[in-house]
Structure 1
């Protein structure tokens, strides 16, 4: 029997080590859309900047009194820190099966865009990417599965998308049209990476936010698939909130 876990964790511990199989980011210019969700000064989930007033994350990251930190590889010392105005979960969110794991956060004031803070584009409605497509993941999640080693330095890793049939076989769980699997590259997202970005480049070199870190197998093995909530399945809902 396989066990699944959502990747959310309030990070009270801190250590300057790598994500599971990942690398230290040296600046925010490679992932300027990356955001850290903070509560009581501690990172608990990731998010992605999609507009001046909005960031995208996972519904299971829902908290009150959230601050969104951006623009720095060290989440403790952000370039910009803005309180949340509202946290809107997708109305179809189903916690039991971790489906429709989407949320849009509206900020109380606009972000200032520069080389360290930039929005990432969303895919087109219904847009699909084949298994094997190269992808990028990033976040401040655990660096050791089942441990409490949380980096202060942003981590990133190259991975690849996995087609639904292969993911179903590996996870033993129904993969719905709102789920995008990735992994099998010797690295993985883990607790604390929840809500953070799964990114691909299209044929024109444009970065697209394919998904938001959702769940995986407990203790985050690097030889297993993990799951992101697939944004192309709910673009109309996102646009209805943000007006993008």
Structure 2
């Protein structure tokens, strides 16, 4: 199998990571989750997921935005949404920002898929409520090995049928040592990757940039990873790789 970056946005900006064998999310279940479209040549293209981490800040993946530079006009961000297609959905808000409203990690490398992290900056403060809330950030250098976690996003429900309803799946992270031993590629392993154990629920080409979170005892969520890349074709029971937020 070949490890690949799930967006390939330089040539195919419409291809984005999606969850296979996920479950339907409930309203207010993931208030930190966003999805965003980008405008190219006056057409909106669904792009990637992201995580609210502050009143003016969305955390996402660098590969979602890097290949669109020079072409993108605006970014449309859906907040508080479960059914993206329902503009009258209770709690759903849309914020549109200009193309230059993001920052990509200065050491992002598409070929190595390292430092796959970016921030979208909002022009005004978000008003938090029960539908829109930030996730906490992982503590620096936290490993989060053998941790029960949740990944969420919009996308394919059976490998080929798309959905407008937010999906989620429970997964378990594994140690870097185990991940490196399981990967069937000659690609160099980087410690700031965070891997989840193979299972029947996998992210695949629209969840990119979205959150991998750990639930806290007080009911809040801590974002520990950003959906980054995996095995081409998104087969079940294969490793999925996330950018480690604590790195």
TM-score interval, normalised by the smaller of the two chains = 0.7 to 0.9
Are 1:6 and 1:194, in contact at CA under 8 Å, matched by a contact in 2? no
1:205 offset after TM fit, Å?
5.2
The residue that corresponds to 1:242 in the other structure is: none
Are 2:21 and 2:158, in contact at CA under 8 Å, matched by a contact in 1? no
Quickly say closer, same or farther: Cα 1:175–1:128, change in 2 above 3 A: same
- Find 2:51's aligned residue among 41, 48, 54: 48
The residue that corresponds to 1:192 in the other structure is: 206
- Whole-Å separation in 1 of the counterparts to 2:46 and 2:127: 21
Please say which of residues 200-209 and 69-78 is displaced more in the overlay: 200-209
The residue that corresponds to 1:7 in the other structure is: 6
1:152 offset after TM fit, Å?
0.4
Deviations along 1:48-105, one digit per CA (max 9) or x if unpaired, are 0011111000000004321111111122345211123511110010110100000000
- Whole-Å separation in 2 of the counterparts to 1:117 and 1:11: 26
Are 1:11 and 1:150, in contact at CA under 8 Å, matched by a contact in 2? no
Deviations along 1:182-225, one digit per CA (max 9) or x if unpaired, are 13232011111000000013466542100110000011112011
Residue segments in structure 2 that go unaligned for 5+ positions in a row: 8-12
Are 2:166 and 1:154 equivalent residues in the alignment?
yes
Q: Give the length in aligned residue pairs.
A: 223
Deviations along 1:1-60, one digit per CA (max 9) or x if unpaired, are x21222336279xxxxx9412111121x11100000112444210000011111000000
The residue that corresponds to 1:237 in the other structure is: none
1:1-244 matches, cutoff 5 A: 2-8=1-7, 10=14, 19-27=19-27, 29-39=28-38, 40-62=43-65, 63=68, 64=72, 65-77=74-86, 79-85=92-98, 86-131=101-146, 133-145=147-159, 147=160, 149-171=161-183, 172=185, 173-202=187-216, 206-233=220-247
Are 2:138 and 2:246, in contact at CA under 8 Å, matched by a contact in 1? yes
Are 1:80 and 1:111, in contact at CA under 8 Å, matched by a contact in 2? no
RMSD: 2.0
- Whole-Å separation in 1 of the counterparts to 2:216 and 2:173: 13
- Whole-Å separation in 2 of the counterparts to 1:209 and 1:116: 17
Are 2:15 and 2:205, in contact at CA under 8 Å, matched by a contact in 1? no
**4+ residue runs of structure 1 moved beyond 6 angstroms?**
none
Are 1:46 and 1:195, in contact at CA under 8 Å, matched by a contact in 2? yes
Quickly say closer, same or farther: Cα 1:170–1:209, change in 2 above 3 A: same
Are 1:130 and 1:161, in contact at CA under 8 Å, matched by a contact in 2? yes
Q: Secondary structure at the match of 2:246?
A: helix
The residue that corresponds to 2:10 in the other structure is: none
1:232 offset after TM fit, Å?
0.4
- Whole-Å separation in 2 of the counterparts to 1:31 and 1:207: 9
Are 2:56 and 2:124, in contact at CA under 8 Å, matched by a contact in 1? yes
- Whole-Å separation in 1 of the counterparts to 2:5 and 2:162: 16
Residue segments in structure 1 that go unaligned for 5+ positions in a row: 13-17, 234-244
The residue that corresponds to 1:15 in the other structure is: none
Task: Name whichever structure is richer in strand by fraction.
Answer: 2
